[in-house]
Structure 1
């Protein structure tokens, strides 16, 4: 699987269903321990820079934004009850959303490493 990184601390993995987006190690370091998340699962389409998720963490209260536009296939709604999943290094836990209808060019324009 191919993984790319956005400069706002997200990883993006190209999977068979679409593009899975989660919180990278850089994002975790920038935020500190995540204690609360605000997901809007009724959102079905996101534009580049739209808010994906609101986060309250030990170092920051912020919104994580979409690195590109796409159609929502599924939200990781378990984050609402388990925000600590975003503190995990396991991509099976710290993912936020899966998008489809994403421009391959926008994906490949993301960084191949998470160092900024």
Structure 2
């Protein structure tokens, strides 16, 4: 499985034609305590760079952008009952949604872990 990152602090795990999307540990630290998550509907088409979900913390609300285009196949319903999963396990149990990859070429230009860490270090 390959993991990529965006400059908006989303991560994406790619396995075959399926991708899992969430926000990074850095993003959840910046947001603070997560109190609500709005997830996309299964069957929704998301477009690369466009808002796909919303995460609200005690500090602010923030959009979660789709790192690539595709059709949502699953939403992490556990976040509706326990949005704090985004704080406690942002890059594992706190994933937001899964999608079928529309265009694998859109993965080009996303960062690998090394590049993402360098990006965050410069912030």
**Range moving further from structure 2, 30-39 or 101-110:** 101-110
- In structure 2, distance between residues paired with 1:96 and 1:90: 9
Distance 1:58 1:24, change over 3 A: same
CA RMSD in angstroms comes to 1.9
- In structure 2, distance between residues paired with 1:42 and 1:89: 23
**How many angstroms does 1:43 deviate by?**
5.1
Count of residues in Structure 1 that have an aligned counterpart in Structure 2: 116
**How many angstroms does 1:58 deviate by?**
3.1
Would you say the 8 A contact 1:19–1:100 is kept in 2?
yes
TM-score, normalised with respect to structure 2:
0.81
Match of 1:8 in 2: 8
Would you say the 8 A contact 1:9–1:28 is kept in 2?
no
Match of 2:75 in 1: 75
Match of 1:37 in 2: 37
**How many angstroms does 1:90 deviate by?**
5.8
Q: Quick check: which one's strand share is greater?
A: 1
Gaps of 5+ in 1: none
- In structure 2, distance between residues paired with 1:73 and 1:42: 5
Would you say the 8 A contact 2:68–2:101 is kept in 1?
no
Gaps of 5+ in 2: none
Q: Quick check: which one's helix share is greater?
A: 2
- In structure 1, distance between residues paired with 2:14 and 2:112: 13
Would you say the 8 A contact 2:28–2:90 is kept in 1?
no
Q: Give per-residue Cα distances to partners, 1:19-71, cap 9 Å, x unaligned.
A: 11111112112212211112242552111233221111133211111122111
Could you say which structure has the larger radius of gyration? 2
